[in-house]
Amino acid sequence: MTASATPESIDSPEQLPQWQLFWHRLKRRRIAMVGGVVLVILYAGALLAGFIAPYHFDRVDNQNFFHPPVWPHFSGVHLVVTRYESMPGSFVYQAVPNDTAPVHWFVRGDKYDLFCLIPASIHLFGTGDSKYPIYLLGTDQFGRDVFSRLLYGSQVSLSIGLVGILISFVLGLLIGGISGYFGGWADTLIMRWCELIMSIPTLYLIIALRAVFRPNISSVQIYGMIIIIYSFIRWAGTARIIRGMTLSLRERQYVLAAKSMGQSNLKIILRHILPGTFSYVIIAATLSVPYYILGEVTISYLGVGIQEPSASWGLMLSAAQNTEYMRSFPWLLAPGVAIFITVLAFNFLGDGLRDAADTKS
């Protein structure tokens, strides 16, 4: 009976708020949770890159080009690193037996800005002695620590996806919503425009633009350019899907009800139509982050993206273009592994989100 329904009956356990049910279902998907945890770790690493990395990203070690990875090991109770010596005139390194230095925690080292704001020089770990370097993933052709550059590079590679989806989804939601809600000639115009945009080959556009601009533009400018170009092309696909969903959502009676109360068209789109697409948008956004990451990788790999000495995963991979290098110094492929893990984690999480949002599963 309606009139006699008591408030107690509402709080029964099966009527948890929707997001709690969602979280519950997501938690049961082990693989999605693994993806989520990996991403949390990766993003934490990017945020604290300066602190975790033992060296600054452009610190050059003239003595140790292509130094192999050095891992600390236990000697008694102390964690120590062994010193390596290079054969004269070659990049072959040999560990010097019994010549070790202890690894210290919170050691003073290269200066950096924590969160790009706070000047600091304390690093999580290190030897504090440049004779005993700690190169977890070796060094590259300029003698720079690959592990440190990987962390700094993740700031570019991981943030580019988030900023990219932010721009492209805001645009896609708004334009798609307007197109679907109003219909008619506005819809036709916007959709043809979308198709036009989607037919632009992103890669060639960026390369062509690089040819137009002066060659020495900074990495920050290139970073902005990559995001803007990728997201200004990518929004069109989102807009088309949102438009399709809007076409069905606008026929809902609550849209008519909102209109009958005198609500404005823009408010109806923002408050009553677009929230109905969010379950799709969250998942699609998660699944499209790798698109931006890989986009940056491609651009930087081709040498038209992020410039030396800045670090990005694509740029670091370009150092491993040479097959000779790849065979002799396989640690240069570490950024490839990082890209692989990140993209996989995003896809796992996105799949899990989709399954958790699907109440029928």
Positions in the binding site for another protein (CB under 8 A): 1-7, 10, 15, 18, 184, 252-254, 256-264, 271-272, 275-276, 278
The smaller minimum CB distance to another protein, of residues 42 and 285, is found at 285
For residues 104 and 259, which CB has a smaller minimum distance to another protein in the complex?
259
- Edge-to-edge strand ranges of the sheet holding 93-102: 73-75, 78-86, 93-102
- 8 Å CB contact between 122 and 106: yes
**CB of residue 19 to another protein, shortest distance in Å:** 11
Q: How far is the CB of 1 from another protein (least distance, A)?
A: 8
Query: Tokens 């997501």 belong to which residue?
Result: 26
Ramachandran category for residue 282: left, alpha or beta (phi over 0 → left; psi -120 to 50 → alpha): alpha
Q: Provide the CA 73 distance to its chain's centre, in angstroms.
A: 32
Structure tokens at 336: 């490839």
Helix axes 219-249, 184-198, angle to 10 degrees: 140
Minimum distance from CB of 122 to another protein (Å)?
47
Q: Which residue, 7 or 97, is less far from another protein as judged by CB?
A: 7
d(CA 348, CA 233): 25
Tell me the closest approach of the beta carbon of residue 237 to another protein, in angstroms: 24
> In the chain, what are the helix, strand and coil shares in percent, each to the nearest 5?
60, 10, 25
Q: 71 or 254, CB closer to another protein?
A: 254
Nearer to another protein, 73 or 271 (CB): 271
**Length of the chain measured in residues:** 361
Give the shortest CB-333-to-another protein separation in angstroms: 46
Q: Is 59 left (phi over 0), alpha (psi -120 to 50) or beta?
A: beta
In whole angstroms, how close is the CB of 273 to another protein at the nearest point? 10
Residue 85 CA to residue 341 CA, distance in Å, equals 33
109 three-class SS = strand
Nearer to another protein, 188 or 328 (CB): 188
Q: Which is nearer to another protein, 1 or 212 (CB)?
A: 1
**Distance of closest approach, residue 16 Cβ to another protein, in angstroms:** 11
